Structure 1
Amino acid sequence: MRFKGRAADLKLLDRQLGTVTAGGTDSRGRAVIMTGRRRVGKSRLAQEFCDRSGLPYVMFQATRGRRPAAERTEFIAALSGLPGADLVAGLQSGDWNQALRSLAIALPDDTPSIAVIDEVPWLVEQDAEFEGALQTVWDRYLSAKPVLLVLVGSDLSVMEALQAYGRPFFGRAAKMTVRPLHLADVQAMTGLDAADAVDALLMTGGFPEIVQSWQKGMSRKAFLREAASNPLAPLLVAGELSLLGEFPETSQSRAVLEAVGTGERTFSAVAAQAGGGRGMLPGTLSPLLSTLQTKQVLVADLPLSTKADSKNKRYRIADPYLRFWLAFLQRGIPLIERGRGDLALERIERAWTSWRGRAVEPLVRESLVRLLPDDGWAATEAVGGWWNRQNNPEIDLVGADREPVARAVHFVGSIKWLDSKPFGGREYQALARDMATVPGAGADTPLVAVSRCGVDEGIPLAAHWGPDDLVRAWR
């Protein structure tokens, strides 16, 4: 399958390789830590980068649960394509220090090269000495070679720890995060108009294997019908595969994710849902929520205004696809497997409008942050929402100079994301009424809107944005 998108990620890697190729620094080698959610396409990106480079390279992927001795043997075997492979052929490595020194021997001295070690967290898990060996061999041997070393891993907490102060490899690598395909990439790959591309992103999350299964020009309903007729469709199986890699079905973390994914947003509501009939104790839930946020699977949003409000958190699943999967597909898969995909589709259609209205909010805010500041909002660098403890009212958009506590509120706004109804007078009057509850907003605070179907004539908004603007933010 032809590689698509990822132009910015490839350019970033090219820049690091360019530093290696140019030389002129004390350390000839460069190291990059590549992180990102599971199944986001890190391995495919690394392979494409190596193939395009035209340079000698080695790609080694660790295997979870393998014995360290067997892993090292496989690592040595993977060096067979390097110029100096004959120098290390048949060597037995008693530890990772020797195995990584074999890599240094096999790499060329006078030609730039690339070494990719994939699933690094599994190597750390298998052998506590791996990190120290990596630091020692990098400092003494690998950094003296013209090599770009790319360390890849999906466990974000482990990859973050690799470069933490006090850890062996601290300060030795640049960091890049591979994210799902963005809105403009999704539109280009699906051939949809801007509004429908937003729907496609909310369903696929920008995960490459799912987006690539979306035939160009196919409508949302047609895509869902196709998936519902095939229990092995990427849209269905990627969610479970992604979750099982980190959160077994019986784990408490999985229960918390499912509670948030099915619509619970507050601490107390998540505790009640995740804990079953008895509820989950705060002392149990708090560290679980913290871990899920560290892994960047869960996000805790705070109201944005000029008044601090750290207790009024609202939780959500970080990536749109997993949010969609937990809300609809997890329960729908058993139906699809027994040939009743029609029932699963009916469930989605009944709840689609209300679910999408909530799910699109983070994408809208992130898109506006990319569009602003501009000539109209020169000092606006944060866009969030505001709510009180009763969620009455809830303000969809608050533009400010900073977050989480603003010095000044620059605008207050509403998101109306319906298929056929534009933002009209009724929505404007509700926004004008509710804005007074936002700390920092006043009678003269500008009002704005984001709408899927435009804005009625004569509505006195300071600004409004639509689907095309959201796509433009990502180009």
Structure 2
Amino acid sequence: MRFVGRSAEFSRLDAELARVEKGQARFVVVRGRRQVGKSRLLTEWLRRRDRPHVYYQALDKPIHQELESFRDAVARSSLEPIAGIARTGVSWSSWDSALAVLEYIAAPGRHDGSPGVIVIDELPCILRNDPSFEATLQAAWDHQLQRAGLLLIVVGSDLAMMDALTSYGRPLYSRVDTELRVEPLNVCEAAELLDLGAREAFDTYLMTGGFPKVLAARAEHSTTSTFLNEAVADEAHPLVYTGQRMLDAEFPPSSSSRSVLGAIGHGERTFGHIRNRTGLSERSLVNSLNLLKEKRVIAAEDPQALRVVRRRTRYRVADPYLRFWLSFLAERVDDIARGRGDLVAADVEAGWQKYSGEAVEPLVRASIERILPDERFGAARYVGSYWGRDNHPQVDLIGTEKRSGSSRLSFVGSIKWRATKPFTARDVVQLGELAQHLPGWSESTARVGVSRLGFEPGADLDATLSPEDLIAAWR
């Protein structure tokens, strides 16, 4: 499947490579969730830049097997003279001796002058079987690898472990020069990858997120509907199993965090409702929510207002794919396994209108923030939503100049993500009626509409946005 996007990540890697070419050794940490495309990003970057390199994919095996695999990767590499050393069949008894060989990158045999690149992919796999590797790598970097003038890149999917790797008191603290976080492809990149129109791109993205392997499966189908029907007919389909693997790797099924995430995935948005569904104590729930936020699995949102509004926090699953998987697939894998994926597909179809209308809102707000500043939206720099006590009034879009502490609202807006009906004049009237209850609203506050199917004549708004406009914001 062709490679798209990642220009920002390429630019950051290019900047590090340029520093190495000027004689500075550089240490880079790359992290991101499983299946997000970290390995593909790095292999594509190495292919395009055509620099001598070693790419080692850790195996999560005992130390002696990891060392043998590392030697084989060095032997297959384009990085001389160490590739030649490895091809002699040398046996390394420890990571100290294996990493010591890398200092020969700076040996006289390197006549081409190109900087060497070393990639260790899935570092947490090594650390699980050899916790001392962290200190070994630190010593090798301090005493050997920096002198070799290379670009060292370590990669990991265990976000908690990778976060801790560079924390105070750990061996690699202050050694890492830069950290690169790889996120899923954005909706524009997904549209480009699959050559989709804007509306179909959003429908796809709300189901697949930006995970390349899931998007690759979608590429074989002309519509989201046929893709879904095929996916739920096979428990081994990427749409079905990716969510399970992502969560199993970070949250054991019996953990409190997994229970909390399941509750949020089923639509419980407030602390009280989540607590009622899970039965957890207040302390356990707070700890689980904090862990899920730290790992960026969920987002905690407060009303966007002129001042901080307390005790109205709502929680949502942060990633579109994981939100879809938890809502429709997590508890239906047994149905899929017994050949009744048709029941799952029917439930998705029946609930899609309501689900997509809610799930698209964070994506719309993020898209508008990328457009700002723009005179159509007043002085706004930040976009959120507002809900009062008992959810009234509830406004989809609120724009303010500051995240909190603004003197007035820059704009208010409504999202109508309907399958058969455009944004109507009546929708405009309803937006105006709700806006009048908001602190900071005035007659000069801009009115914004977002619609999946356009706007009927008479829908008088200061700014209108279509799916095409939202896609363009990500270019």
TM > 0.5 fold call: yes
- Following TM superposition, by how much is the alpha carbon of 1:306 offset from its aligned partner in structure 2, in angstroms? 0.8
The residue matched to 1:376 in structure 2 has which SS? helix
The residue matched to 2:219 in structure 1 has which SS? coil
Counterpart residue type for residue 163 of structure 1: T
Query: Deviation per CA, 1:64-119, whole angstroms, max 9, x where unpaired?
Result: 3x33454344334432233123446524344x444322333357654312111111
**1:364 is the counterpart of 2:364:** yes
Give the 3 Å change call, closer, same or farther, for CA 405–144 of structure 1 in structure 2: farther
- Following TM superposition, by how much is the alpha carbon of 1:166 offset from its aligned partner in structure 2, in angstroms? 4.1
Specify the alignment match of 1:383 in structure 2: 383
Query: Deviation per CA, 1:208-266, whole angstroms, max 9, x where unpaired?
Result: 01111123661121111121233322111111111111122222221111111111111
Specify the alignment match of 1:59 in structure 2: 55
Q: What CA distance in whole angstroms lies between the structure 2 residues aligned with 1:102 and 1:43?
A: 24
The residue matched to 1:159 in structure 2 has which SS? helix
Specify the alignment match of 1:12 in structure 2: 12
Counterpart residue type for residue 340 of structure 1: R
> Aligned ranges for residues 117-132 of structure 1 at < 5 Å?
117-132=120-135
Identify which range, 354-363 or 46-55, moves more after superposition: 46-55
For structure 1, list consecutive stretches of 5 or more residues without a partner in the other structure: none
The residue matched to 2:391 in structure 1 has which SS? coil
**1:50 is the counterpart of 2:46:** yes
Contact map agreement 2:376 2:446 (CA 8 A) in 1: no
Counterpart residue type for residue 224 of structure 1: L
Q: What CA distance in whole angstroms lies between the structure 2 residues aligned with 1:441 and 1:166?
A: 50
The residue matched to 1:454 in structure 2 has which SS? coil
**1:227 is the counterpart of 2:224:** no
**1:152 is the counterpart of 2:130:** no
Counterpart residue type for residue 28 of structure 2: V
Contact map agreement 1:397 1:413 (CA 8 A) in 2: yes
Specify the alignment match of 2:214 in structure 1: 210
Q: What CA distance in whole angstroms lies between the structure 1 residues aligned with 2:157 and 2:183?
A: 11
Q: What CA distance in whole angstroms lies between the structure 2 residues aligned with 1:77 and 1:106?
A: 17
TM-score with structure 1 setting the length: 0.92
- Following TM superposition, by how much is the alpha carbon of 1:30 offset from its aligned partner in structure 2, in angstroms? 1.5
Q: What CA distance in whole angstroms lies between the structure 2 residues aligned with 1:456 and 1:415?
A: 14
State the Cα RMSD in Å.
2.1
Counterpart residue type for residue 85 of structure 1: A
Query: Deviation per CA, 1:347-394, whole angstroms, max 9, x where unpaired?
Result: 111110001111000100110111111243463221111112312222
Specify the alignment match of 2:292 in structure 1: 292
Give the 3 Å change call, closer, same or farther, for CA 468–111 of structure 1 in structure 2: same
Identify which range, 110-119 or 85-94, moves more after superposition: 85-94
Query: Deviation per CA, 1:395-444, whole angstroms, max 9, x where unpaired?
Result: 11111112255454211111110012111122222211111333322343
TM-score with structure 2 setting the length: 0.92
Contact map agreement 2:264 2:317 (CA 8 A) in 1: yes
- Following TM superposition, by how much is the alpha carbon of 1:173 offset from its aligned partner in structure 2, in angstroms? 2.0
Identify which range, 40-49 or 354-363, moves more after superposition: 40-49
The residue matched to 1:115 in structure 2 has which SS? strand
Q: What CA distance in whole angstroms lies between the structure 2 residues aligned with 1:87 and 1:327?
A: 53
Percentage identity across paired residues of the two chains: 40
Counterpart residue type for residue 200 of structure 1: T
Counterpart residue type for residue 258 of structure 1: G
Q: What CA distance in whole angstroms lies between the structure 2 residues aligned with 1:350 and 1:376?
A: 37
Specify the alignment match of 2:305 in structure 1: 305
Q: What CA distance in whole angstroms lies between the structure 1 residues aligned with 2:219 and 2:421?
A: 28
